[in-house]
Structure 1
Amino acid sequence: MAKQYEAVTVYAPASMGNVSVGFDLLGAALAPVDGSLLGDRVSVAPGEQGLSLHCCGPYVDVLPAKLEDNIVLRCAEVFIEKLGLEVPGLKLVLEKNLPIGSGLGSSASSVVAALGALNAYFGEPMSQDDLLLLMGELEGMISGSVHYDNVAPSYLGGMQLMLAQRAQPLPSFDNWYWVVAYPGITLSTAKMRALMPQQVDLSIALTFGQQLATFIDASHRQDEAGALAVLKDVVAEPYRAPHIPGYLAARQHLQALGCAAVGISGSGPTLFAVARTRDEADAAAAYLQDHYLLNERGLVRVCRLAQNGIEVSKGEV
């Protein structure tokens, strides 16, 4: 008799890539303080012959029109082929809670939720490190390049620093609130990367390395002032900021409100602001709600870091 598997659902939180100071090397997972979902969920359950996929959620309308083009289905195909699994039938459900091309790690969230659910469903046949590498490869099919600063925090939680073959958790500051605002428009990650030069001046490379090293050191020593002083993007933001409607004005106003740092989440158009008190975070959120959102698809969330990464539960979405 074939082995019977139980349905499982995995939630993968949204993430901020780069976190200003760590282009392609630093990422953080987000958890709204109000308990709302800011991340995709994928269910895996026994199904009829072959693979099937059903999509739902507030951003389902922006997914590819053809199911065969959906990255969740691709994740299942690659996972099954890679492990040589015999699967009589599998039913997948994607609850799309993140806008595409938002800078919130939307494709990474889908990939992490899908592969996390598949791994849990089949009894954890892949190690954490191997699964993370596969997540990066599959997310790269969507973003146009393989990088782990979204998949690693979404999968593992907290703030993650990308090393050569693995991710290293970085201590965070417990009093920080991360206010994120998505204006409601889509910016292609691949196109935003194309805005950047292929090479940068040596002086910029040195500044980048020094700032990232200082931030890592300050995080480990819990030197808040030192970390905030270097939480700036000298690599990507100068080229991307002019192409994000309202970003420069919002950054200036948020700094005037007292936010200790403001940056672009991933490749945008979502921005993030670091606030050190809840009152400061709420004031920043109110301003962004009124002045940064461009349509009803936009969102503003006051967040902490999602320290645990994916959440696995029994049953279907």
Structure 2
Amino acid sequence: MSNSIIQHTSLTAYAPASIGNVSLGFDLLGAALKPIDGSLLGDEVKIESAEQFELTVEGRFADKLPADPASNIVTQCYHHYLQCLVNKGVDVDALPKVAMTLYKHLPIGSGLGSSASSIVAAFHGLNQFFTDVLGTTPFNKSDLLLMMGELEGQISGSVHYDNVAPCFLGGLTLMSEYKDQVALPLPSFNNWYWVSCYSGITVSTAAARAILPKEVPMAITIQFGRQLAVFVDALYRQDENLAAAMMTDVIAEPYRKSLLPHFDESREFAKQQGALAFGISGSGPSVFAVCDSLEKATIINQWLADNYIQNDTGFSHICQLDQQGAVVY
């Protein structure tokens, strides 16, 4: 690796919100979201050269994070990234220190991949920053995904990639976790609109996992595998009706919906209005509805805003898949 050091001023990395599980793919499917009105639905991390490391947190949900910057996951990402550089033989003492600013736009415990968004933005931004400094790219996408999954696991209690992978890579992703192929991109339907509604309450990933049974009956296991296999096949054949028919959650939703006020009536309304699918986003409390027209999405979005949101921190967006994933600007 080159030892030449160049001066860099600053950059900002953005990582979009995501839907984990996508109902039928528990821990195995994820989708990145992009509001159609152009608003940001994801976290940003700004990185600047500095005399010493520091982290500042701003944004709508900054006050929901630990007051001590050392406890923030972005600080942990920085130290983990440096350790990975050391493991590659880089003299990190010769590198510039950085000041990082986390713009926390996503609510914590929302089911929108909030921690994943911060982690992805941090690692993606750091990798670009030190690429510019060193003149060569320290880590490839597979390397970064492994780092992201490890840090995500520190928050959720187990390593899983169904938020960090779509957040980083964009689009709809299938977790393979085979050697350096952590996640695989899947085709999707360009005419689908994804209504994403956060109710304003908090559901921790750990609590949402604790409510699940420790064992799954054989019949449910077979149904889960069949649905996922048929769904992926339908995506590649662009069979919209069959793909939508598979989007039911037989693993988590029957248990987790008890944690979400007004879930059943929200799903019933969405279905009555022609939604192709309706489910829990990740661990909840956010929900999503898949629609094949903007007209249907607009009606469902408004109803969820009026009926599913519980307080003034909630919000609802009409989205499509964010095919770009994390970006630096």
Relative to the length of structure 1, the TM-score reads: 0.97
Question: In structure 1, what is the Cα distance between the partners aligned to 2:193 and 2:275?
Answer: 10
Matched, 1:184 2:200: yes
Measure how far apart 1:208 and its partner are. Answer: 0.2
**Kept after mapping to 2: 8 A contact 1:242/1:248:** no
Asked if 1:83 corresponds to 2:85, the answer is: yes
Q: How does 1:144-163 map to 2 (within 5 A)?
A: 144-163=157-176
Tell me the SS of whatever aligns to 2:290: strand
1:106 maps to which residue? 114
Name the SS for the 1:122 alignment partner. Answer: helix
SS, match of residue 231 in structure 1: coil
Answer yes or no: is the 8 Å Cα contact 1:6–1:121 preserved in 2. Answer: no
1:267 Cα deviation after fit: 0.4
* Equivalence for 2:50: 47
Alignment partner of 1:4 out of 4, 7, 16? 7
Q: How many aligned positions are there?
A: 312
Tell me the residue number matched to 2:325. Answer: 309
Between the aligned partners of 1:46 and 1:117, the Cα distance in structure 2 is: 12
2:145 to 128, 132, 138: 132
Q: Structure 2 CA distance, aligned partners of 1:153 and 1:260?
A: 21
Of all paired residues, the percent bearing the same amino acid is 52
Residue 271 of structure 2: which of 226, 242, 255 is its match?
255
- 1: CA distance between counterparts of 2:11 and 2:302? 37
Return the alpha-carbon distance in structure 1 between the equivalents of residues 66 and 229 of structure 2. Answer: 40
2:21 is equivalent to residue 13 of structure 1 = no
SS of the counterpart of 2:9? Answer: coil
Higher mean Cα deviation, 4-13 or 117-126?
4-13
| 1:280-299 alignment, distance < 5 Å | 280-299=296-315
> Per-residue deviation at 1:66?
1.3
Q: Comparing 59-68 with 71-80, which one deviates more in the overlay?
A: 59-68
Query: What SS class does the counterpart of residue 217 from structure 1 fall into?
Result: helix
Q: Structure 1: which amino acid aligns with 2:151?
A: L
Pick the aligned partner of 1:242 from 212, 236, 258: 258
Letter of the 2:69 counterpart: L
Task: State whether residues 17 and 266 of structure 1, in contact with CA within 8 Å, keep that contact through their aligned partners in structure 2.
Answer: yes
TM-score, length-scaled by structure 2: 0.93
8 Å CA contact 1:67, 1:73 repeated in 2: yes
Gaps in structure 1 of 5+ consecutive residues: none
- Listed one character per residue, the Cα deviations across residues 252-282 of structure 1 (whole Å, up to 9, x for unaligned) are 1111111111000000000000011101000
Q: CA deviation at 1:5?
A: 2.4
Among candidates 5, 28, 32, match of residue 29 of structure 1: 32
Question: Equivalent of 2:74, from 72, 75, 78?
Answer: 72
**Distance between the aligned counterparts of 1:102 and 1:164, measured in 2?**
25
Further displaced range: 104-113 or 237-246 = 237-246
Cα deviation digits, residues 10-68 of structure 1 (max 9, x gap): 1000000000010000000000000000000001110122x100110111111112111
Among 56, 59, 62, the alignment partner of 2:61 is: 59
CA gap of 1:202–1:8, structure 2 versus 1, over 3 A, is: same
CA distance in 2, matches of 1:39, 1:197: 31
Moved over 4 A (4+): none
Cα distance in structure 1, aligned partners of 2:259 and 2:16: 26
RMSD: 1.0
